[in-house]
Each structure stands twice: as C-alpha cells, then as structure tokens.
Chain A
Amino acid sequence: MQQLSTKSKMADNEERKALQEQMDCVERLIQSCAVPTFVIDNRHRVIIWNKACEALTGMKAAEVIGTADLGKIFYGFERPVLADFVIDGNIDEVHGKYELHAHSLLIPDGLQAERWYTDRRGRERYICFDAAPIRNSRGETIAAVETLQDITERKLAEEKLQRAAADLKESNEEIRTFAYIVSHDLRAPLVNLKGFSSELSRALRELTPLFESGVARLEAGERRTMEDLFQKDVPEALEFIDSSVNRMDRLINAILKLSRLGRQELKPKKIDMEQLTASILKTLKHQLDQRHATVIIGALPAVIADRTAMELIMGNLLDNAAKYLASGRPGRIEIEAETNAGKATFHIRDNGRGIAADDLDKIFELFRRAGRQDIPGEGMGLAYVKTLVRRQAGSIRCVSEPGAGSTFSFTIPLSPEAPGKEQQAAGS
C-alpha cells in the first residue's frame, strides 16, 4: 500500500515534470518569437510576457507577470486589453474601445483591433492587436494569447494618403465650381458689351442722315476729319468690340462645356465600340471621301462606359484624324484596340500631317492648337477628350511624327470599378 502510494506519487511527479517541461517549451517558443506576444490565464493574470513585448512597450516581464490588471499598466488607466475580452467572451463590449475591430480572419474566435497607444517614452504608437483563446481538451478557455504589431508608420502613411486624396478632391471641386462661376458671371457683362455696341451701331445708322446734312455745311478740312471719325474710326472700333465679344463668348462657352463634361453624371452602359466608331465615321464620310481616305476598323472590344462620353472621345479623335490628313497623299486612318488586365486601349492612327514634338504636351490643354492654323477650331476638342477619358479612370497619350502621322491611344477600364470595392472600416 505504502509502496503503491509512493509509486503513484512518483508517476504523478513524472507527469507534472513532463507538463512543466512542455510549458517551459511553450514559453521559450513564445519568448523567442519576434512578434510582441503575451499570455493571460483565465483569471486575467499575465503568465507570459515575451522579450519582443518588453522591447515594444518598455515594460519588463517582472513588472507585469502575475498582474490581473494589465490594461492599467499598459494604458496608464483602467481598461481591459483585448485578451481580457477574449477570456470573458464579452466580445460585444469591444465596440467603441478601439478605432477598428473585427473578428480575426485567421483564428476562430480570435479578435483583431487597432488603437493608438502612448508608450512609456511618451511616443504615440498605433498598434494592431490580435487576441485568441487557448482552450483545453474540453473546450474551456484556459488562457488567451495576444500579439501586438506596431503599424504606426503604415497608419501615418495611410492618413497622409487619405488627406492628400481629400485635398485633391477638394481642389478638383474648386476648379470645377470656379470654371462654372467664371463662365456664367463673365457672360452677363458680355450681353451688355454686345447689346450696347449694337445699340451704338443702331444710333449711328439713325444719325447718318443728320450727319450727312450737317457735314455738308462744314469746310473741307473739318469735313474730312468728321467723315473719318464717323465713317471709319467709329465703325471700326465697333467692329473690333463685336468680334472680340464673339470670340470671348466662344471661349467662355468652351470653358463652360469643359466644366459641364467634368461634372455631368456618367451613365455606364454596354457599348459596342465597333458600331459606335462606324456610326461616327458615317458622319465624316464626306470629309474622308474628299481626302480619298481609307479607314480600317480592327476588332474593337465592347466596353461598359458612358455612351455620350465615348461618342465625344471617339468623335473628336476621328474628326481630328480626318481634319489633319496631309494634303497630297491618300489618307489612311486605322482604329485598333487591345485588352489587357481589365482595360481596353484604343489606338487611332493616321498618316496625316503629324505634330511637332514640342507641341505634343500642349495639345491636350485648353485653347491650345498645334501646327499651322489653317483649319478652324477652338482648340478645345482634345481638352474635352482628356477630361472625359480621365473621368472614366482612363489615360490618353499621343505619339506623332511630323509629316508622317499621329497615333492617339486611350486606355479605359472595360467596365467601371465595382462600387464598394474599396476597403471598408472593419467590423464597425
């Protein structure tokens, strides 16, 4: 009996020793882990606090091992740490205690949360906490393990990016509003300029008989001066006012149109680009025939985009291609496309007069026209095109060789980005 008891005690001791050794092994494993990690038992007492944790927080294992109030030591005020929520299973209460929180994607019943934390040196750190329960064979939670990751740099970079995006959005908005207001408010004085210069012309016409009878009574020298003023200088001045007002009006209309294109709602629908291109070419038929131009349409993909925008983009590029064909050789225009990684790139290639390298940058700007100004235009077509391509998350470029031809290539997504694709605040 006595012997037996001793034997069983010995077995018990063996077992305990083995268990202890296993525990030590686990602790060494956690200690040598480069990720700041700690473990609390089911009474919230800290049982493991690894070196990486000491390095991150400046809190030594000796200070925290055994405490059931880690939150207070860690944060400097009374509050639970994420592992405490896991031990208590009151996951609903996490809400509002972190900037972000969510169920762990990797560990069942694990929690992930992010929060600012001021370390002992007074540095603000943004930490990503991951906590998960440790269960025994009966499924009871006996402890919780928590890891800490310092993601301050990432967080700051994200915030900077968000601020930059917000700034950009705001200044875009300002430019649009500005263009709109300028266009409207500049028009009102033009109505007056035009109106009153017309009134002046009218008054002049009514004055003519009076003038003629009056001027007849003047001596020759005075008469010539009067006639010069009345019949030449004044009408000339009025004409300049008139043509300048007309030009100003056209410029304002062009800005207004650009601002509208930048604001109007896009309605993406499926578009057969081959059909769209063919119907635009029909409207250019006369012009193309005059230049004995051959047009080749390759296989063009269907895209989901705004029809009006695509018509304007293709329309302007094809119109330009036709307009600036070189005289003296038969024109040739090719329209091709390729798709790659969810995007379609369309090429409009001509054998026209081409654009000088110095001018390539400015052709997409407002009111800028390149080369000989022998063909009427406002210099707005490509500005409209660029605005509409960019509004559809696309880009446009031009490669050209003077005397040989130009290729305009624009890339747009095959379909607009699915809404809600952006990362959302996890769990909140």
Chain B
Amino acid sequence: MIDQPQPILLVEDDPGHVLLIEKNLRRAGVTNEIIKLDDGGRAVEFLFREGEFAAVSAPMPLLILLDLNLPVLNGLQVLQRIKADEQTRRIPVVMLTTTDSHQEITKCYDLGCNIYIVKPVDYVKFSETIRNLGLFLSTVKTPDE
C-alpha cells in the first residue's frame, strides 16, 4: 500500500498557468501535493533523483502534467526521457500546450503521452478539462505494482 500519497508533478514555466491549473485541481477535490517545476531539465532531475533532487525521497508522481514549451529541455524531450525509463514509463503523462498543431499532437502521442490538453483561451473549457482530470484522479486509484 502507499503510505505517503503520491504527488502530482506539474512542469510549467508560466506562473499564471501554474496557479490556474492548481486552483482548478483543488476545486475538483485533488488533495495530493503538487510539485511545481519551471523547466524541463529540473523535471528530469527530479524524476531521476539527480542534481538538487539527489536526496529527495518522495514517491514517484501519480501523474505528470507537462507543458510543451519549456526552457532547458522542452516537453517532448522530457516525455522521451520518461517513456524510455523502466521506472517512470508507466506514470501517466498529460501534455499541456497552447498549440493545437496536428504535427505536435501526433508527436506527443507517438512518444507515448496519455492525454494531450490544449490550453484554450476559453477559460471555462480549460478549467472544466483540468477539473475533470482532477475528479478522475480523486476517484480513481492507480493499481499497486
């Protein structure tokens, strides 16, 4: 059984988007810790316990919300690392982006992302999507290994 509830990893470099996503997840009843990182390099370090995260003992995230346009390593590069590693490849990854370019969406799915969310300017739609994701998380438990 899981002693410590698994956190949610949110990798997003726009602080406004971070706040909006967090608000909506909380409104949907998600109580898990949300770990916020603002670049792709740090996300990889966190997941693989490297650099400043070498000593972190937190459990692996329940879910990763990953922005596509990130500094250091972009979302696709991070996704590639996640899906290439035995330890992380089963963690569901939700890609977030402002792009609805068909090419980029295809690339994300090819690399194994589970859901792709376009951050619409339409906030109602955006908050609904995030809240639905939150509701899904708060009602469904991932099976233990």
Interface residues of A (CB under 8 A from B): 184, 187-192, 194-199, 245-246, 249, 260
Contacts and interface: CB of A to CB of B under 8 A. Distances in A.
B69 interface: yes
B124 A191 contact: no
Contacts of B132: none
Given A187-B121, A198-B124, 4 more contacts: A184-B98, A184-B99, A194-B121, A195-B20
Interface string B23-38: 1000000000000000
Closest CB pairs A-B (n = 4): A192-B16, A187-B98, A249-B121, A198-B123
A91 B69 CA distance: 57
A198 B20 CA distance: 10
Secondary structure type dominating chain A contacts: helix
Contacts of B99: 184
Nearest to A252: B121
Contacts, number: 48
B126 A191 contact: yes
A195 B98 contact: no
A246 B121 contact: yes
A248 to B, nearest CB: 8
Nearest to A196: B16
Given A198-B123, A245-B121, A249-B121, A191 B98 contact: yes
Contacts of A249: 121
Interface in B5-32: 14, 16-17, 20, 23
Contacts of A197: 123
Interface of B: 14, 16-17, 20, 23, 69, 98-99, 101, 119-124, 126-127
B143 to A, nearest CB: 34
B30 to A, nearest CB: 18
A185 to B, nearest CB: 8
Contacts of A195: 16-17, 20, 123, 126-127
A260 B122 CA distance: 22
Given A184-B98, A184-B99, A191 B23 contact: no
Contacts of B17: 188, 191-192, 195
A196 B17 CA distance: 10
Contacts of A245: 121
Nearest to B101: A260
Given A198-B123, A198-B124, A192 B98 contact: no
A102 to B, nearest CB: 42
A198 B23 CA distance: 12
A189 B123 CA distance: 12
A243 to B, nearest CB: 12
